[in-house]
Structure 1
Amino acid sequence: MMKKFLSTYHSPLLVIVVGMGLFGLVMVYSASTYVSFENTGEYYSYGLRQGIWWLVAFAAFLLASLFPFTAYKKLLPFIVGITVLLLLLVFIPQLGEERNSATRWLKIGPILIQPSEIAKLTVPLYISYILVQKRTQLHDFKKGIMPSLIIVLVIAALILLQPDLGTVISILIAYLAMLLVGKIKLKHVILLGMSGIGAVALLAIISPYRLERLTSFSAPFDDPLNGGYQLIQSLSAISIGGLTGTGLGNSIMKMGFLPEAHTDFIIAVIAEELGIFGIGAVIIGFFALLLVGYQIFSKCPHPVGKLLAIGITAQIAGQACMNLAAAVGLMPITGIPLPLISYGGASLVITMTMLGVLMNVARYTHYQNKLETKETYETTRPFYRTI
């Protein structure tokens, strides 16, 4: 029975999820020993906490892989409403918690929720259904695109106020990818893309904090003790690692020299300890995920499933590219974590849930192929009775 059940899972995706997740768990433990000891008096506290979150995230992955993506349609008003409500509650002083000059967390008793992470899943779910619903009107910007654009802009504006520009950019990347797959007019995609770039540039110019990050990444050594410090330390860690690295657990830069070594800049610690081979493994992992996501998209016969597959893939791949590019100075530091690898329970749970939805799309295709080859309906009914 278990063998039959596992045979319904997309093997390459399952290997990527488990493999990269466990690799990230090992690297979080290694990268967090110093900060963990500083804050808790134990070297393993952060690693243990991430391990517990990984188990929760994997459970979320399994549940999402079993829940038919076609059933989200009835839940969408609730999902979107809850997401917007949580994003608004962040700004209530008694509920919102500020960290590093950003109010991105909602504290309810002992529980911390990061609504912007939830939005990463909400947007692909909503957009996939609204684009299919409007598929005969996508040539008309007002009737076909505006309904989805309004919701995306409301969510993006609330996240931007936290402020969290990195998450906004990753959401917009997924949105534009889904619009392209939805076959809207190319001029509309270009218009939206240029508008997004212009808005980001304007926000950077009018905000001293963002402007500093924009200028420091291009010339970090002009301000080595302030704006350019984090990038310089990241580049130093990468250069120390060289080809083969200093060995797992032997990073020097994580000893208080590199800020956010276990979160936003964990790739620098990977480079220092495992060398170019470590960075190569991470890049290959995300490239494999991109290929698998595209394969699931191309084979899925359901229009909503296709859009979900490309939206989730673009969201995760875009976030990974932004994190890696920031760590080596190819783009400004946005404070966005490396999916599946960086420390952080909220990010890990949402990423794994998104991958669970992607797995469900793959399983749907698997069952449809079985039905087309005249396999009995009873073989598939227990898993997809609601489709």
Structure 2
Amino acid sequence: MSIVAPTQFSFKIPAWFTIEPQSVATFDRSYIILAVAMYMIGLVMVASSSMPVAERLFDNPFHFVIRHMIYICLSLLIAGATLQIPMAKWHQHSGNLLLLGMGLLVVVLLVGRTVNGSTRWIVVGPITVQAAEPAKLFFFCYLAAYLVRRRDEVLENVKGFIKPLVVFGALASLLLFQPDLGTVIVMFVTTFGLLFLAGAKLWQFISIAAVGLSAIAALAYFSPYRWARVTSFLDPWKDPFGSGYQLTQSLMAYGRGEITGQGLGNSIQKLEYLPEAHTDFVMAVLAEEFGFIGITIVLLLSMTLVFKALMLGRKAVQKEKYFEGFFAFAIGIWFSFQAAVNIGASAGIVPTKGLTMPLISYGGSSMIIMTIALVVLIRIDHEMRLQTIQATASHKKKGGRK
């Protein structure tokens, strides 16, 4: 008598979605899919949110849309070139990249363009570069390389732990002269998270957290315009036509969006009621036009990208590719925190910080640097896949000889 086993149903995750290479593919296509999806959402939302202000300023409603398309095309061209750079070159030149980032921050203070009281842009002909964006990426590259060289020193004594914080302090000082506290906070949180993942001791984190939070609180309290942002964030309706104006308009956009939104193009707040609707507050317009569902889709895309970056970093560290692993960790933390601050500021969860939504908001420097960071993840994944394929081929060749 034979016993027939019951049929078992199993769900197989699509190969393109997983971190593990399921085939001989030499790169993870899901990064491309996520990037294209976020590019397209950003292009549609910049088009929708920027037309009223573009019509008034330039007598051309498509001014910002055309420039955003140029930024995307330029980002893709630079991405193609960056993809050819081996990770060993990033590691080798991490110190030079850090010096380049610091140099850009010095140059912007000397000859930069001032907009709304902040000096953050270097103008070279038709090209405008926001110096803080490449400085972030280059600092994270340097930090990953430092943790590879000095990991034992970081884990064992205070001196190794303090050194990267001194470099961070120098960059933070240059950024605060612009002033750009938002970028400083992003770099601080990413540095904090990366040191934690590298295995630094708990007391060191408590110390750096206490010092960092105290410094940020002091910078906010003793700066009138920053303190006005904090107080208006706590109660924006107290002064809805003054310090709380931008946030109250953003909250109205979220409120009008409800679950499904008012429909593409039907936002009222973008009709120049909400300042910076196509840059820092593009997510408020998206919430008004596509509602909770639209915001959820963007959050899922961002969360998937961050999750894949962190899992890629974990896999690289497990394979003892520490520089690649720490760099991937830094990019994942950076993406997640900046997205959280951008959406949180527009929703009234955190004070306004002027940070863009990665791969979605209008802004050439941010778009290009975020794309380069994404390409770095693709390159890390590509090199690890090639290593696996070569190891498998070598193993099969040895087996054949036997």
Contact kept in structure 1, 2:53 and 2:272, CA below 8 Å = yes
Count of aligned positions:
372
Does 1:64 pair with 2:82? yes
Between 1 and 2, higher relative CO (CA 8 Å, sep ≥ 6) is seen in 1
Give the SS at the match of 1:91: helix
Q: 1:122-271 alignment to 2 at 5 Å?
A: 122-271=138-287
Matched, 1:98 2:114: yes
SS in 2 for 1:103: strand
Code of the aligned partner of 1:224: P
CA distance in 2, matches of 1:42, 1:8: 44
Does residue 291 (structure 1) correspond to residue 293 (structure 2)? The answer is no
TM-score by length of 2: 0.89
**1:50 shift after superposition:** 0.3
| 1:310 aligned to which of 329, 332, 344 | 329
Report the Cα distance in structure 2 between the residues aligned to 1:102 and 1:43, rounded to whole angstroms: 26
Contact 1:141–1:188, Cα closer than 8 Å, also in 2: no
1:75 lines up with 2:93 in the alignment:
yes
**Can you list the C-alpha shifts for 1:220-241, whole angstroms capped at 9, x where unaligned?**
0111111111000001011111
Aligned residues: CA RMSD: 1.8
Deviation, 1:376, is 9.0
CA distance in structure 1 between the aligned counterparts of 2:277 and 2:245, rounded to whole angstroms: 13
Instruction: Report the equivalent of 2:391.
Output: 372
Q: What is the alpha-carbon distance in structure 2 between the residues aligned to residue 47 and residue 309 of structure 1?
A: 31
Tell me whether 1:340 sits opposite 2:359 in the alignment: yes
Distance 2:26 2:40 in 1: 22
Contact 1:90-1:105 at 8 Å conserved across structures: yes
Larger radius of gyration: 2
Greater displacement, 362-371 / 47-56: 362-371
Q: Give TM-score, length-normalised by structure 1.
A: 0.93
Which amino acid in structure 1 is aligned with residue 202 of structure 2? L
What does the per-residue CA deviation read over 1:58-97, in whole Å, with 9 as the maximum and x for residues that have no partner?
Answer: 22233333311111233223211121111011122xx211
Give the deviation of 1:141 after TM superposition. Answer: 4.2
Deviates more, 1:105-114 or 1:267-276: 105-114
> Please, which moves more after superposition, 198-207 or 72-81?
72-81
Does the 8 Å CA contact 1:32/1:261 hold for their aligned counterparts? yes
SS at 1:144's partner residue?
A: helix
Distance 2:325 2:94 in 1: 18
- Which one of 346, 360, 371 corresponds to residue 379 of structure 2? 360
Greater CA deviation, 55-64 or 346-355? 55-64
Which residue of the partner structure matches residue 322 of structure 1? Answer: 341
TM superposition shift of 1:276: 1.0
